[in-house]
Amino acid sequence: MRTLYKIAIENLSPGIRIANVLFPDPDFSGPFLLLKTQEDLKRLRALGLKECWVVREGAEASEKNPVPPKAAPGAPSETASPRTSADAPRTSAPAVPTSPSAQGGPAQSAISVEQELVSLKGFYQKSFLAARELFLQTQETGEVRIEAVTDVVDDIVGSVQRNRDALLCLKGLQRADLYTLCHSVNVSMLAVMFGKFLGYDQEQLRLLGLAGILHDIGKQFIPASILNAPRRLNPDEFAIIRTHSTLGYEKLAAHKDVPELVCRGVLEHHEKIDGTGYPHGKSGEDISVFSSILSLADVYDALSSNKPYRKALPPTTAITTLYEMRGSAFPPDLTEKFIRCIGVYPTGSLVRLSTGEFGVVCGNPHETLNKPRVLAIPRDAGRFLFTQARMLDLEKTPGVSIRAHLNPTDYKFDCQKVLKMWGTRGS
């Protein structure tokens, strides 16, 4: 018998298996993460959570009557896990502050998410059209004309400077049939948001935004019959797809207006720190921090977006997957900072609260990842009671917590529209 129960983070020990890593979801069915070392525990505590759900096989336990955990038989002994210093400045890469809470960290925004969303009216469509123009020009002329997207990059940086979280709401507007274009805009937005979190300056954010839009530009040189094949690719076709990062780099490197940092980010966005990536199988600190930021944004958006052949993973599952890739694909420290930046419940998510109300996440202003600011909306007889909505800061609202992440389409609920209405009305 498999049982989940809640436990304080401070009571965890190596050998315990955590359900869904970070998320208090009692319905979760796996996969489970085995805490192997004290270093794993330290990292988990550093995420700012107070408690989590863990799993025991063959135990009779419940949230109310937890069984004290024992180390699993054969659990690896404590060893120093390899660390990659994501914070160390590297050649041609912006220096990442050693303490995100000192210069980046939780958002201290000039205006609220809902106010910023009102000012972003039409922004996603404009970004999408600019990316389409860039891609079409590249296909037609064989040249990459970055002028098509520089205004959009400036808009992204401007929005993130006003409120770091608001653009996450727009990410949900993507269409599966236009995946590549939406993905490029999303990666740009996510990379700039994360750069802001890390304390990057305006110019560094612009470079991240540009690299995000351009990261897959090399795919414009891959035959459409392979790129859009509605079937599993054979090894030769995979090899052709994998040339896209080199093709993009070569085109951009020939362009005098594209900074070297952007070119390198495009070249390295599929490298992995364990050396199993491509095109060059670089490892560790041979991959720039700038490139790892793009890579994190790329993978997170790919996991959390609808694709022609599969539905998007819930944000919580996408973040769990990223967490499990730390140390193999991405530097561990940088991965954990990315999760802190996005939040366990990303801005724009729909959740169910312990009060029974529905909630739209409106930013993660605190260190505690599972206590965001939420617009709470009662629901009665299948109808949302918007007139009774109230803004709650869960960090400052004892007794109210998030119980589950919900899929807005299951409830015909438009999170962005609701937040915009609230922003227009004022809070």
Residues at the site binding Fe ion, with contacts judged by CB under 5 A: 216
Nearer to Fe ion, 189 or 419 (CB): 189
Residue (114 or 216) nearer to Fe ion, CB: 216
What are the start-end ranges of the H helices in 20-177?
38-46, 100-103, 113-119, 123-141, 147-162, 166-170
Residue closer to Fe ion (CB basis): 220 or 349? 220
User: Looking at beta carbons, which residue is closest to Fe ion?
Assistant: 216
CB-based burial label for 424 (10 Å; 0-12, 13-18, 19+): exposed
CB of 231: closest distance to Fe ion in angstroms? 20
Q: Which two tokens stand for residue 346?
A: 């990303």
CA angle 319/266/121 to nearest 5° reads: 60
Q: Nearer Cβ to Fe ion, position 216 or 336? A: 216
CA geometry: angle at 124 spanning 121 and 129, to 5°?
A: 120
The distance of closest approach from Cβ of residue 210 to Fe ion in the complex, given in angstroms and rounded to an integer, is 15
Dihedral of the alpha carbons of 229, 271, 267, 300, in degrees to the nearest 10? 60
For residue 266, the minimal CB distance to Fe ion (Å) is 9
- Give 134 or 374: the residue with its C-beta nearer to Fe ion: 134
Tokens of 284: 């560790």
Neighbours of 260 (CB within 10 A): 11
Helix (H, G, I), strand (E, B) or coil at 93: coil
Of 66 and 277, which CB lies nearer to Fe ion in the complex structure?
Answer: 277
State in angstroms the smallest separation of the CB of 154 from Fe ion.
24
Strands 390-393, 402-406: parallel, antiparallel or unpaired by DSSP?
A: unpaired
Closest by CA position to 138, among listed 82, 220, 201, 199? 220
Between 193 and 267, CB nearer to Fe ion: 267
Name, in order, each residue with C-beta under 8 angstroms of 29's C-beta and a sequence gap of 6 or more. none
Least distance between Fe ion and beta carbon 242 (Å): 9
Edge-to-edge strand list for the sheet holding 358-361: 390-393, 373-377, 358-361, 350-353, 402-406
Report the C-alpha gap between 158 and 205 in whole angstroms: 10
Pick the closer one to Fe ion by CB: 219 or 405. 219
Minimum separation from the CB atom of position 226 to Fe ion (A): 14
Q: Which residue from 240, 210, 224 is spatially nearest to 144, judged by alpha carbons?
A: 210
Please give the single-letter amino acid code of residue 36.
K
- Min CB(363)–Fe ion separation in Å: 29
Least Cβ distance, residue 52 to Fe ion (angstroms): 33
Q: Using DSSP, state whether 2 is helix, strand or coil.
A: strand
CB closer to Fe ion out of 216 and 268: 216
For the CB of residue 219, give the shortest distance to Fe ion in the complex, in Å: 7
Angstrom CA distances, 175 to 166, 410, 411, stand at: 19, 17, 19
Give how far the C-alpha of residue 126 lies from the chain's centroid of Cα atoms, to the nearest Å: 22
For the bound state, the minimum distance from the C-beta of residue 12 to Fe ion, rounded and expressed in Å, comes to 36
Of 36 and 269, which CB lies nearer to Fe ion in the complex structure?
269
Phi, psi of 380 (to 5 degrees): -140, 130
Stated as kind and residue range, the H or E segment containing 33 is strand 32-34
Q: State the sign of the Cα–Cα–Cα–Cα dihedral 374, 378, 383, 386.
A: negative
In whole angstroms, the minimum distance from the beta carbon of 270 to Fe ion comes to 6
Q: Nearer Cβ to Fe ion, position 338 or 358? A: 338
